[in-house]
Amino acid sequence: MDRPHIGFIGLGIMGRPMCANLIKNGYSLTVWNRSRPGIDEVTGYGAEAGASPADVAARSDVIITIVTDSPDVQQVVLGPQGVIEGVRPGSVLIDMTTMSPSVTREIAEKLAEKGAEMLDAPVSGGDVGAKAGTLSIMVGGKEEVFQRCLPVFQAMGKNIVHIGPNGAGHICKLSNQIAVAVNMLAGCEAIMFAAKNGIDPQKMLDAISAGAAGSWMLSNLAPRIVRGDFAPGFMVRLAQKDLRLVLEAAAEQALPLPGTSLMNQVWRAVEAEGGADLGTQAAIMPLEKWANFRLPRD
C-alpha cells in the first residue's frame, strides 16, 4: 500500500502525537474527534478536518480509531454517521483502542459485509512512546492486510508484531496491561520500602533500574512518583477500564489473576479519593495512606 490517505478518529493524549508522526512521515490525514480542541491541534499540523466518522471513512484508504472503550468504538464505527456508513470496499479500519476482543471480532464481521478489512492494533508505550514514534504495536487480523499496513504502523511505532487473527491484538494488549499493572505495584512498594528505611528513593532507583529489576515503569514513572508528579501520561480511570476488560475475560476462562485483582483495588482507592484523572503512578497514594508515611518531596 503506497502512501494511503489516512483517516484518524480520536485525538486525545495518544492520538494527537500519533497524527503528528504520520504527517511527519509523509501521510495526508483527515481527522475527527468528539471535541474541538483535538481537531484544532491536529489540523494545525496540516491535517484536514472531517465532518463525521462516515465522512472520514469516505475520504480515506486506511481509517485509524483510538478512542476510550468498546462502546465508543462501536459508536464511531457502527453508529449513526459512523465509519461503516462511509467505508469503501478494500479500505482498512485499524482500531488502536484497548477494548474487548469479542467486540473487535463483531465489528470485523460487520465491516467484511461492506468489503472492508479490519486490524485490531492496540499500543503500549504511553504518551512518551506516542510522541517519540516508538510505540509497541500488537496486531490482530489477516497477515496480508497487516503487511499492506505495515508502513503505516512503522510511522508510529518501533516494535510491531502480528499476533494472530482478529481479536488477538487485543488479547495481547490485555496481557500487556496485566504486566504493567503488577509492575506498577512492585515499583511503588520498592519506593515505599526504601523511603521508609531512610534511603533516598531516587538513588535506590538509580541503583536497581539497570539491573534485573529494571523496567519501563522504573525508568519512566517511578521518578515521577519520587518527584510527586502525578500528571497523566495514562489516566487511572483508563487503566481501570483496561483491568475491567482483563478481569471480565479472565472470568470467562475461570482464570485467577490475584496480582491484577489487587492492583484493581489499589487504583480503586485512588479513584475513591477523587484521583481518577491522575496518572497511573498515583498508585503510590494509597500505599502512603496505609503506611501513614508520606514520601519526602520538594
**C-alpha 249: how far from chain center:** 18
* CA gap 85, 79 in Å, rounded: 9
Cβ-based neighbour number of residue 224 at 10 Å: 17
Q: What is the DSSP string of 9-55?
A: E--STTHHHHHHHHHHTT--EEEE-SSHHHHHHHHTTTPEEPSSHHH
* Cell, residue 42: 491536529
Return the residue matching grid coordinates 496518572: 279
Does residue 68 sit in helix, strand or coil? coil
The domains found in the chain, sorted by start residue, are 6-164 (3.40.50.720), 171-291 (1.10.1040.10)
| Per-residue pLDDT, 127 | 85
CA dist 135 and 115 (Å) reads 29
What gap in Å lies between CA 124 and CA 115, rounded to an integer? 30
Residue 193 has pLDDT above 60, yes or no: yes
Q: Convert the pLDDT of each residue in 11-51 to its tens digit.
A: 998 999 999 999 999 999 999 999 999 999 999 999 999 99
Grid cell digits, residue 29: 490525514
* Chain segment 91-133, per-residue pLDDT in tens: 999 999 999 998 999 999 999 999 999 999 999 888 889 999 9
Based on the residue annotation, tell me whether 142 is a catalytic residue of this protein. no
Distance CA 119, CA 166 (A): 7
CB 122 within 8 A of CB 169: yes
Write out pLDDT tens, residues 235-264. 999 999 999 999 999 998 999 999 999 999
- Provide the percentage of residues in the chain whose pLDDT is more than 70: 99
Catalytic residue among 142, 158, 173, 289: 173
Taking the CA atoms of 12, 18, 21 and 23 in sequence, report the sign of the dihedral they define: negative
pLDDT at 45: 95
Kind and range of the H or E run holding 203: helix 201-208
- How many CA atoms are closer than 13 Å to the CA of 55, on its beta-carbon side? 10
Would you list the DSSP string of 225-251? HHHT----SSBHHHHHHHHHHHHHHHH
Cα dist from 74 to 44, 80, 82, 107, whole Å: 28, 10, 9, 7
- Quote the pLDDT of residue 298: 62
Under the banding of pLDDT at 50, 70 and 90, the label for residue 197 is: very high
Residue pair 27/6 in contact by the 8 Å Cβ criterion: yes
Predicted confidence (pLDDT) per residue in 47-94, tens digit: 999 999 999 999 999 999 999 899 999 999 999 999 999 999 999 999
How many whole angstroms from its chain centre is CA 240?
A: 12
Q: Which residue has the cell 496540516?
A: 46
d(CA 112, CA 134): 31
Long-range own/partner contacts, residues 283-291 (CB < 8 A, 24 or more apart): 283/184, 283/185, 283/188, 283/236, 284/188, 284/191, 284/192, 284/225, 287/188, 287/189, 287/192, 288/192, 291/192, 291/196
DSSP string, 205-228: HHHHTTSTT--HHHHHTHHHHHHT
pLDDT tens per residue, range 156-178: 999 999 999 999 999 999 999 99
